[in-house]
Amino acid sequence: MARGQLGVLNALDAAKTQWYHFTAIVIAGMGFFTDAYDLFCISLVTKLLGRIYYHVDGAPKPGTLPPNVAAAVTGVAFVGTLTGQLFFGWLGDKMGRKKVYGITLILMVVCSIASGLSFGSSPKGVMATLCFFRFWLGFGIGGDYPLSATIMSEYSNKKTRGAFIAAVFAMQGFGILGGGIVALVVSSSFDRAFKAPAYSVNAAASTVPQADYVWRIILMFGAFPAAITYYWRMKMPETARYTALVAKNAKQAAADMSKVLNVDLEAEEDKVIKLTENQANSFGLFSREFLKRHGLHLLGTTSTWFLLDIAFYSQNLFQKDIFSGIGWIPPAATMNAIHEVYKIAKAQTLIALFSTVPGYWFTVAFIDVIGRFTIQLMGFFFMTVFMFALAIPYHHWTLKPNRIGFVIMYSLTFFFANFGPNSTTFVVPAEIFPARLRSTCHGISAAAGKAGAIVGAFGFLYAAQSTDPTKTDAGYPTGIGIRYSLIMLGVINFFGMLFTLLVPESKGKSLEELTGENEGEGGETELQTGPTRTVPL
């Protein structure tokens, strides 16, 4: 047992992998399935929304969302998510993880359904209510980030903690895949049931009235997987680390974990009082002591997540434009409205199936073997390499014989994002900060990531536009084009690699060893003086 370590926490650290670990992964993971489904499925239906609500009679191209509307529809959920990450992260440290956990799930379920209802029939009314509900949907999703990561971290044993937290996050890959599959099923069903000509043949008839149901069904479906886990989420006991180290209730912590682990555990009330009253375990977020111990760590987790999400979310959000550019998706005028949804969903599903999902599970398999630092550095490195490899000879990849090669290279950037920083930036903040600040610091780190996602979502809607005014989407000014957008993303990934040097390795140590919460007066944390260094030697 580590010096000063509570018996109940040591029992959790030393526990063999048990059924409750997998139960916790599924319960927390289904929230992330919904998170990813809801955040990414909007990119599948934005072109359909443009056709339905912004059709212009006689126009050579189908209607598209005006730039300000497209930016709002795409980005408003990210603004909500950022707000939710900060608020619920803080609340999770004040009220407890479990009490707040149910609130976030209810918000997600209700707002997923409501965003598909979007009251009114005018474009302005539909878009306004869609944005309203997607903001609050994002607010609930935001809370799920720090709470799920913290709960899984505090339940896990130290040997496989990284894999367990990464497995929760890996459900995001299934959420993206699930969104594509649902869109494929719904669009193909409606396309067969309601035949329509291509836009170039008959513009008005190419968008059947029933197309308005397609996007609504796709958006609403994400609520159901999360809803069925609500009961089990409420049955989970509060984590022992919160109960003992923050709520200072040794008896309850021992009782809860005795049931979970099926062993008898002693309530060490005197030790809890000694640990929690130690000045070294009572500094606040805005204290000099926090700055000294964890300031660089927080800078590392926030900066890397910020840079990663600029690249990751902009790739996801404008991948339909890339697929159109290389010919994977035919010109919009050659398809009817519903068939366009099918084509976009097919391309996104293939990318998710062969690169996104495998990348997440490679992280699960190797994170406790080679460590968080190595995976993150490697991921940023290969993302940089593949982005430049796509961007510099971009014209080469647009030629018909080379298009499959482009898709393979593009898929590899997603693979190394997920077998890389997209997973590790979620894992590390849940491990390296003290229990009383863990949820807050994870929320701050995640919010920095969502700030990056907003930059990607808003900025690259404009940046990826063609430099030729005749080839831009309606209402958009000329941009720098996809080639230079990819070069910018390569540079961003390179800076992510540099800021990774601030992120400590946390593999194989207990949470209390990492944060110094089991040390005596004036004890230093393992992150500062122990054998685990920021840069492995």
Domain annotation covers residue 323: yes
- What is the total count of domains within the chain? 1
> From CA 49, how far away is CA 218, in angstroms rounded?
12
Helix H, strand E, coil C: the string for 2-25 is: CCCCCHHHHHHHHCCCCHHHHHHH
Domain annotation covers residue 521: no
For residue 411, give every residue at least 6 positions away whose Cβ sits within 8 Å of its Cβ, in sequence order, or none.
351, 354, 355
pLDDT class of 532 with cuts at 50, 70, 90: very low
Domain annotation covers residue 302: yes
> From CA 437, how far away is CA 11, in angstroms rounded?
22
DSSP 192: H
Q: What pTM does this model have? A: 0.88
Rg (CA), the chain: 24
Distance of CA 437 to the CA centre of its chain: 21
DSSP count for the chain of H helices, then E strands: 26, 0
Residue with more model confidence, 411 or 42: 42
Q: Which of helix, strand or coil describes residue 503? A: coil
Domain annotation covers residue 43: yes
Q: At what angle do helices 337-351 and 211-221 cross, to 10 degrees?
A: 30
Domain annotation covers residue 167: yes
Domain annotation covers residue 524: no
Distance of CA 521 to the CA centre of its chain: 38
- Best CA proximity match to 499, nearest among 306, 285, 293, 288: 306
- The answer to whether 316 and 43 are in contact (CB under 8 A) is yes
Residue 163: domain span: 9-271+287-509
> From CA 378, how far away is CA 367, in angstroms rounded?
12
CATH code, 433: 1.20.1250.20
Domain annotation covers residue 337: yes
DSSP 158: T
Domain annotation covers residue 528: no
> From CA 403, how far away is CA 457, in angstroms rounded?
25
Tell me the per-residue pLDDT of 355-380, one tens digit each, with 9 for 90 and over: 788 889 999 999 999 999 999 999 99
Tell me the per-residue pLDDT of 157-206, one tens digit each, with 9 for 90 and over: 999 999 999 999 999 889 999 999 999 999 999 999 999 999 999 999 99
**Mean pLDDT across the stretch 45-61?**
91
Length of the chain: 537
